[in-house]
Structures are given as structure tokens and as C-alpha cells.
Chains A and B, each alone.
Chain A
Amino acid sequence: MFVSLQGSNALEIVIDRGNDNPTPIAIVPFTSTNPAVDVSPVIAFDLVRSGQFAPLEEENMLSYPSQPEDVYFRDWRILGMEYLLIGRHLTRVDGDVTVSYHLFDVSAEREVKSGEITASRDRVRDIAHRIADEVYEEITGIRGAFSTRILYVLVENIGTSYARYKLEMADSDGERPRTLFETSEPLLSPSWSPDGQRIAYVSFETGRPAIVIQELRSNFRQRLPPYPGLNGAPAFSPDGRELAMVLSRDGNPEIYTMEIAVPGRSLRRVTRHASAIDTEPAWTPDGKSLIFTSDRGGRPQIYRVDLRTSLTERLTYQGDYNARARLLPDGRHLVYVHRREGVYHIAWQDLETDQGPRVLTETSLDESPSLAPNGTMLIYATQDQGRGILAVVSIDGQVKYKLPSAAGEVREPSWSPYLDTLATNRGL
């Protein structure tokens, strides 16, 4: 399977591999009073990218219904379809667009889901992603994560003295990228607040590292007063009130949490290991612990610390380089960077059965795994012919696609939490 859908300067998507048994679905082009608007290809591409669906080519369709009364199930049964999605757009007098849709189970010959969504004209892609989310959830039972955004760092003129670092935000399909911040100095470690309204990242814009919190709606940037040494790896707590980070103000990298919801911004030191590197904190979903990378045992491995008791346990034992772990929303499965025979992969581990690490990616220099909020896929950075690109893999390892940038190198991806992308004026 090869699908490529390129927008202006968007990330391009190249699907390497899908599920072995994708669900056949027919997505009939939605009728429209405005030919410039069609959500159905966007919905189809979302479902294709999940790897779990095989949409029918438009030219193979026998009929093109747009209303439930025009549907003849045998037309779709003959074609082996399990599901059928039809719909209509309506451009309203105030300029808003209303899209209505109906999803049918072909063998049961019944409608299983329908909906109607209205938004301003510039939000048509958001309507499409919302419908894809609803269709995906109806069929798979898993909440869809198409109405999400990804943050990443785009580097132009890399390796020259004119390098430009751009913090970008794009739709989950790579479309509609926009630059949130730009500098001639390195940017890294972007991450999202749990409500999706703020982001935090590390900027070297002054020549020294500092953590920046940026509001998406206003673009207001707040540079936390940097401490001497490292200021890195910011991670919002699940309640959004604290920021975990790495500071080396006391001589070597340690993990701290900072109360950011209160004016005094009290700082609490979490790790105490004078000779070791402690870095890359991530919160457990309950907000009670942090997982992090430490070389206190001699080599970088993943640990978990209970924030109340400070009890610390080591989570990884296989291999001599395990770093930058992230937990799945279930709090039970871990993904991280794992080195095996000198090659860096993204690996997966079940903490309860202690099974793993199971290698998910076979590219090279794979790093920075970031999970979709529904935990089905992860985005990571890798290299393709010496160029930094982004790639996505499903947690079961079956589905893979790449997102190279049309220009420059891309890295440091961060998948947003669930977002209400149809709410107006949220800067998304």
C-alpha cells in the first residue's frame, strides 16, 4: 500500500505497512453545495492511516448515495464492504459549514451511527477529523485520536551557520503546519499541557538552555528564569499544576518538580544522586510517580520514583541503553529508546508481566517516542537516508508510516492530548 497526500509545506505521509486484515469501508464522496469543501477524503485518509481500515476506491463504487433513503445495501455487499459512510455538506448563510453523516453496518443492513457537526468554514478539516474519530470509535470501540495536533522541531539549513530552528504545530495528518516560535539556536523537548492549551519546551535562544511555557491561544511566551547549568525535559503533570524538569543547579542533572499554578513557583527536588545523570521525567497517569532515565547503575536505564515516599525502582534490565520512557494511558505499558547491538530502536514493555523489551521500530537512530492519547500509535523521530524525519508505528507493531518534511529536517515530535479542536478561539 502506498498513499501520499501532500499539502503545501506540510509533512508528507508515506504509508509503509498497514494491518493484515483491515476492515473494508466505503466512504462515498459527500455531496456539497460548495465544491471546494469535501471532508470525505480527509476522513478516508485518517482511517487509512490507522492501518485498521481499507477504504474502497471511489471509481469502484456502484452508487453514490448521500442520504439514508438512497442506500442499497446489496451494492456494498457485492463489493465486500463491512461499513458504509455517507454524508452531506451544507454551507449556511452565515458562512459556517454543517456536515451530516450516516454510518451503516452493511451485513446487518442498519445505521449504526449518525451525526451533524457545524463549524466555521476554516474548520472543515476539524469537522472531518471529528467524524473520523466518531466512525473509528463506533467500529473499534477505541476513542479516535485524529482530532489531535503534533508539535515538532523543523530545522532548516542544518549544518550551516544559518540554521533555523522552528517549533511547528500541525494536524495529526501533518496538514496545516504553523510556526509557533523560531530562532537560530537549538530548540528541543516540546511537550503539551494536559488541557492542550499550553506547551513547554527548551530553547537555547539566549545561548543557554531555558524552559519556556507558551500559550497557544495568545502565543504568550514565559521563559522560566534559568538556573545555572541544564534546564531541560519539561513535562506537565496530569493536573497541569506542576512541571517536572531537569536542572543541574546543584552540580549534576537531577529531577525537580515546580508548582507552576502558584505565583511563588516552589521547586522540589525529586532525585538525589550526586554522581549520576537523572533526566527525561514523565508522569504516571495518576500523577503520583515519575518515570525517568538514570545511569546510577552505570548505564542509562528506566526508573520509577514515588513522589510521596521517594521509593525508587528500576524498570528495565535488558540492554545497556534504555532511555526516555513514556507510559501508555493504561499506566502499565512502557515505550522507550532501546539500544540493541549498537542500533537505537523504540521498544515496548509490559510492566506487569515484565515482558519485553519488544522492539517496535527497525529504522535507525530512532528516538523521542510520543504516544497518541488513545495509546494505539506512537510518533517518533528517525533518520531516512541521513535526513531527520518523523514516523508513526502502532503499538502492536503492525502499522507504520513516515512523515518526512518537504524541506528541512524534522525531529522531537510530541503528540497532543485529546483536544476540542472545534471549540473556537483556542489557538489550535
Chain B
Amino acid sequence: MTQFRTRNRALLVVGALVLAGCASQQEPEPVAQEESPVDVAPVESQAVQADPTPTDFDNRSRPLTPSGRILATKFYFELDQARLSARDLRLLEMHANILTRNRDRRLVIEGHCDERGTREYNLALGERRANAVSSFLTSAGVRRSQIETVSYGEERPDDPGHDEAAWGKNRRAVVIYR
């Protein structure tokens, strides 16, 4: 029993670290391509537009587009689907370029679902979404060893709401640089 409790506490600490890690990843939402409806204005401050040499990451380790904007790290899906849009593929190509230039960088790809449907099926569907991103990246030259995938199914919604807007935000794959 004592052992059980001690281990539990250790997990709490690990959990807290994981959460802290996640929190720092979640802040920025903006994406880069002008024609996309989700896109927001070019990213301010640390963007390195003046720098002539290609810089793949900003000073907070966020991936950047060739023009120095912060590159989208979330990719959204239709209900029950794991197909990436043409726009997502263009953005992922930029990730692939960054990863092939930076072979020491690793990527965790998370797959997520909305709350509809059964939990175990959603774990499988989330994995299929993460794999869709992973397959594209490896086909674009990223090494398999650079990529790790994990599905959280419907367990970690971005938006806790119960409507179409929330569901749309929750059906996603997220790429996290390590």
C-alpha cells in the first residue's frame, strides 16, 4: 500500500512535468499560409524576416516557414476521416524540410478525435490521423526514427465544448518538436 502510494506521487510529479511541457507547446495558434481561412496575421515580434539565412526555429523553438512565420502545428480532420487537406500537405512539406535539415530533431505526432463515437474506436482513429501525418513526413524524407506517434483518442479535447465548433477543433493531429 505504501509502495502504491509512493509510486502514485511519483506519477503526479511526472504528470505535472508533462503538463508543463504541453502548456508551453499550446500557446501559439497562428499558421502561415495566406490563402488559408484559419490563417491569422503574420506573427509579430521574434519572427526573423530580416535574417537572410534560413532559420528553422524561433528563439522559443517553434518551427518557422521559409519566410519566417510560425508554422502551423495542428492539422484538422473531417468527422470519421483521417485525410489531410492539400493545404495541410503544403504545411507538412515545410515541416519535412525542417526535419530533413535537422536530423537531430525529433517529432511527436499526437492524434485526437472529437467526443462522438466510442472511446476505443476513437483511440484507433486518432492513431490513424497521427499515422497520416507520419506517413506523409517519411515519404517526404523524414527518417522514421525522428518520429513518434501517440493517439489520445477523444481523451484530450482542445475545446471542452459539445458543439460543432468544439468538435472541429478537437479532430486534429498535433506535431510537437522535441
In the complex, A176 has a CB within 8 A of chain B: no
A251-262 vs B: 1/0 string, CB under 8 Å?
011000000000
A206 to B15 CA separation, bound complex (whole angstroms) = 8
Interface residues on B, range: 35 or more
In the complex, B152 has a CB within 8 A of chain A: yes
Q: Judging by beta carbons under 8 Å apart, are B152 and A324 in contact?
A: no
Chain B: which residue is nearest A205 at the CB level? B11
A324 to B117 CA separation, bound complex (whole angstroms) = 9
- How far is the CB of A382 from the nearest CB of chain B, in Å? 12
Majority secondary structure of chain B interface residues (helix, strand, loop or mixed): helix
Q: Judging by beta carbons under 8 Å apart, are A209 and B123 in contact?
A: yes
In the complex, A264 has a CB within 8 A of chain B: no
Q: Judging by beta carbons under 8 Å apart, are B4 and A324 in contact?
A: no
Residues on A with C-beta less than 8 A from B18 are: 184-185, 207
Q: Judging by beta carbons under 8 Å apart, are B16 and A184 in contact?
A: yes
B148-178 vs A: 1/0 string, CB under 8 Å?
0111110111001010000000000000000
Residues on A with C-beta less than 8 A from B157 are: 159
A178 to B96 CA separation, bound complex (whole angstroms) = 49
Residues on A with C-beta less than 8 A from B1 are: 219
Q: Judging by beta carbons under 8 Å apart, are B150 and A277 in contact?
A: no
Interface residues of A in 320-352 (CB under 8 A from B): 321, 323-324, 337, 339, 344
Chain B: which residue is nearest A185 at the CB level? B15
Binding site for A on B (CB under 8 A): 1, 4, 8, 11-12, 14-16, 18-19, 22-23, 80, 115-121, 123-125, 127-128, 131, 149-153, 155-157, 160, 162
A-B contact pairs, 15 of them (CB 8 A): A159-B157, A159-B160, A184-B11, A185-B15, A186-B155, A189-B119, A219-B4, A230-B151, A233-B120, A248-B127, A253-B124, A277-B125, A279-B120, A324-B118, A368-B119
Binding site for B on A (CB under 8 A): 158-159, 161, 182-186, 188-189, 204-209, 219, 221, 229-230, 232-233, 246, 248, 252-253, 277, 279-280, 293, 299-300, 321, 323-324, 337, 339, 344, 365, 367-368, 383, 386, 412
